[in-house]
Structure 1
Amino acid sequence: MRRAAFGLLVACIPASPTLAGFAQVHGVAPWTETVISVSDVKPFARLLGEIGGWQPVARGRLSAAEIAYWQLPATASARFQLWCAPKSSTGCLRLVRFKGVPQQPIRLGARAWDPGGIYSIMMRSDDLPRLFDAAIKAGWWAESPIIRFNFGGSDLRNVVLTGPHGVNFAVYQRLSPPFTDFHLGLISQGFNSMRMVESRPRARDFYAQKLGFGLVFDGDGTNAIATAPEPSNFGIPLNYTLKALRAAAALSPTPGETGRVEMMQITEFAGIPQGARARAPNLGILSVRYPVQDLAGYRAALAKQGVTPAQSAEAVPIEGFGTTDLFAVTDPDGSLTEFYHAR
């Protein structure tokens, strides 16, 4: 049965941005990792490691300088594990356990259409039904059963897996044409991050004009979810799949299949903003981290666009990177995006 695939459409569109931005001039590369704040690593290790074949490539304690970068008191502490997919050194997940500070979920009780906070990290699979069955048995949940749909000449399967703290992994299997840009396996590296937004044009323009990303995809919000009442991958009520409209855009600092950021507005529903909690040490997806060759130059370019970092630090020891200069910016819906240079 083919069902309504609502949004997340950049899994099957052309790889190259149609509009270049100034980020590429300063050497902004695809994001290398996602930072996720968790209370317990074990549910993620079971899905990623036991089921997906991922491996922890680094682990340890956050330095005092990194705790300060996250604007936490000196009494706070944290440990992390950095997990990467097989045959991949990018699109990894840094799982961080903060201690000694109050926490609450970033997207507390949120539905898919509630804006603010990073909604999901997108991955791929070479056998989505097998992954779905294993994930459900491991205690993960989903917004819907697997959805199958056609878009842009591709035959796709998709499901949004939901774990602790409302962390979502949106997983795709492209049945045809074959996907060959990076290794798949049961769970591939991350390649995109989805943010639910109040206004697609406002969010799109922030990443394009303020951050200098290139435009990959821009949907005007005139398409309904389905042509008949069908389940959707965002859990939209069945009787609204003919009424709700999708408005999505995706951007990337460089051409390619990785390092993207996507924003989705579900125009029929007025969601409850979640962005005020999108800060460490709260639980959920905190950010994605983009490496930058010319960090000082890029930061100066952002300042000319009126972008002021929400947090920044220099010479921070970060395991997996080394001594690192970094800063984070906040998008219009309150979600963080980080930029760094490892010395």
Structure 2
Amino acid sequence: MALTSAVVFTIARLPSGWRYDATRSEIKGTPLRETGFSHVVITTSNAPQLGGFFAALGWHLHSTALSADAADFWGADMTQVAERWVAPSGACEAVLLPVTHTTAVLRPLDCAVTTPGGLFDINMRTWDSDWAREFLHTHGWRELVPAVAWQFGEVQTSEGLYIQDDGIVMAVMQRLSPPLEGIEFDRMSDVFNSTQMVSSVETTLAFLEVLGFERFIDHAGPLPGEGPRVLQLEQHPAETAGIHLSIAHPGAAMSGSIELIDVPEHPLPCLSVPTTGGRGLRALAIPCHDVAKTFAAVDDSAWSAQVCQPLAKRDLPGLLRGECFAVTAPDGGRLDLYQLTQ
């Protein structure tokens, strides 16, 4: 969702009710890592269409055969070929793992936006929301929530949600005013943020802290203006439509950040999301300077039961090859942690 994406670059002018937190790494010293997620792993029955979307934006394709390790780690089909789509910046990848159209989706296409369970969306920026809508329609995305222009503090943004047939949701943001500075991209940006709808923001944050993520944006209460429409909360009275939203990253950056949202007054049952297989947003992959140290931190914590794939050396596509492990957040969002080798 990245409802606060524009705010991050105007920290000193956060709207009333929004709070900037110093990261714990600023207090404790060197964190486990300095970056957020670098890869989005997608299991899809629409690889040609999704690949066409990335290709049209100038992303570069690297194809690779899938190993037995990939089949075990993700539930991938070894008879297929993985597609690594690398953003023009080189800082972000989408890994497409083809599956059949009969494979169950991880999040039903008709579930309410704020339903907890798994990974909800990926976020990209655009310079032109109208252009992006037509472009996305051309490549198999349809509107889940039409773009909404809304104001918070001195920042005005337009945000819309799009969904495709694997149940993958994309939030597309355009900064309306003041101009977005310090970020360069062509028509659409890298994937810079991913949202999880959760049962409890605080519980999931406690889990992410073990992985080196720290909250740097926090909001509790109603969303200003037309903001509730983005989360399909406009039907509720304003006094009960408040949310708790936090964004976490090891270095307080909106680049590979993880956003968490819960709706205290209108909770929904959590989806049951399998740890492997399925179709949709399968995992976010996070680089580690010392993946063994990160694994030990999880294994020695109260969250050791969240490990769904143990630390091991695996033959996975591209930069993900080598030592890695996987965990699931309390509501099923999967995170793959891998050894940074360059």
Range into which the TM-score falls when normalised by the shorter chain: 0.7 to 0.9
Query: 1:226 touches 1:241 (CA, 8 Å); kept in 2?
Result: no
Structure 2, unpaired ranges of 5+: 12-20
Say whether 1:248 aligns with 2:238: no
Say whether 1:338 aligns with 2:336: yes
Deviation at 1:237, TM superposition (A): 4.8
Query: 1:24 touches 1:213 (CA, 8 Å); kept in 2?
Result: no
The CA distance in 1 between the partners of 2:192 and 2:29, in whole Å, is: 18
Q: Map 1:111-260; keep pairs closer than 5 Å.
A: 111-208=112-209, 210-220=210-220, 222-223=221-222, 225=223, 232-238=229-235, 240=237, 243-260=240-257
**Distance 1:321-1:156 versus aligned 2 partners, 3 A rule:** same
Say whether 1:301 aligns with 2:302: no
**Distance 1:240-1:77 versus aligned 2 partners, 3 A rule:** farther
The 3-state SS of whatever aligns with 1:25 is coil
RCO greater where, 1 or 2, for CA within 8 Å and sep 6 or more?
1
**Distance 1:192-1:66 versus aligned 2 partners, 3 A rule:** same
Deviation at 1:119, TM superposition (A): 0.6
Which residue is equivalent to 2:273? Answer: 277
Give the CA RMSD over aligned residues: 2.7
Query: 1:310 touches 1:330 (CA, 8 Å); kept in 2?
Result: yes
Query: 2:31 touches 2:212 (CA, 8 Å); kept in 1?
Result: no
The CA distance in 2 between the partners of 1:323 and 1:204, in whole Å, is: 28
The CA distance in 2 between the partners of 1:332 and 1:102, in whole Å, is: 27
Query: 1:123 touches 1:169 (CA, 8 Å); kept in 2?
Result: yes
TM-score in terms of structure 1 length: 0.85
Amino acid corresponding to residue 184 of structure 1 in structure 2: F
Query: 1:325 touches 1:342 (CA, 8 Å); kept in 2?
Result: no
Deviation at 1:190, TM superposition (A): 0.7
Of the candidates 36, 56, 62, which is equivalent to residue 58 of structure 1?
62
**Distance 1:254-1:78 versus aligned 2 partners, 3 A rule:** farther
**Distance 1:201-1:283 versus aligned 2 partners, 3 A rule:** same
The CA distance in 1 between the partners of 2:313 and 2:340, in whole Å, is: 9
TM-score in terms of structure 2 length: 0.85
Q: Render the CA deviation track for 1:193-252: whole Å, top value 9, x for unaligned.
A: 1000111222222223x33312111222x22x4568x87123335455664111111100
Say whether 1:29 aligns with 2:26: no
Of the candidates 235, 258, 262, which is equivalent to residue 259 of structure 2?
262
Query: 1:116 touches 1:278 (CA, 8 Å); kept in 2?
Result: no
Amino acid corresponding to residue 157 of structure 2 in structure 1: L
The 3-state SS of whatever aligns with 1:81 is strand
Deviation at 1:305, TM superposition (A): 2.1
**Distance 1:61-1:250 versus aligned 2 partners, 3 A rule:** same
Q: Render the CA deviation track for 1:155-187: whole Å, top value 9, x for unaligned.
A: 211111111221011111112333234322222
Which residue is equivalent to 1:326? Answer: 324
User: Segments of 4+ in structure 1 off by > 6 A?
Assistant: none
Query: 1:85 touches 1:187 (CA, 8 Å); kept in 2?
Result: no
Query: 1:278 touches 1:286 (CA, 8 Å); kept in 2?
Result: no
The 3-state SS of whatever aligns with 1:95 is strand
Of the candidates 11, 29, 35, which is equivalent to residue 5 of structure 2?
11
Query: 1:114 touches 1:273 (CA, 8 Å); kept in 2?
Result: yes
Amino acid corresponding to residue 263 of structure 1 in structure 2: L
Query: 2:315 touches 2:322 (CA, 8 Å); kept in 1?
Result: yes
Query: 1:278 touches 1:336 (CA, 8 Å); kept in 2?
Result: no
The CA distance in 2 between the partners of 1:302 and 1:54, in whole Å, is: 37
Which residue is equivalent to 1:44? Answer: 50
Which residue is equivalent to 2:282? Answer: 286
Which residue is equivalent to 1:312? Answer: 310
The 3-state SS of whatever aligns with 1:279 is coil
Query: 1:143 touches 1:235 (CA, 8 Å); kept in 2?
Result: no
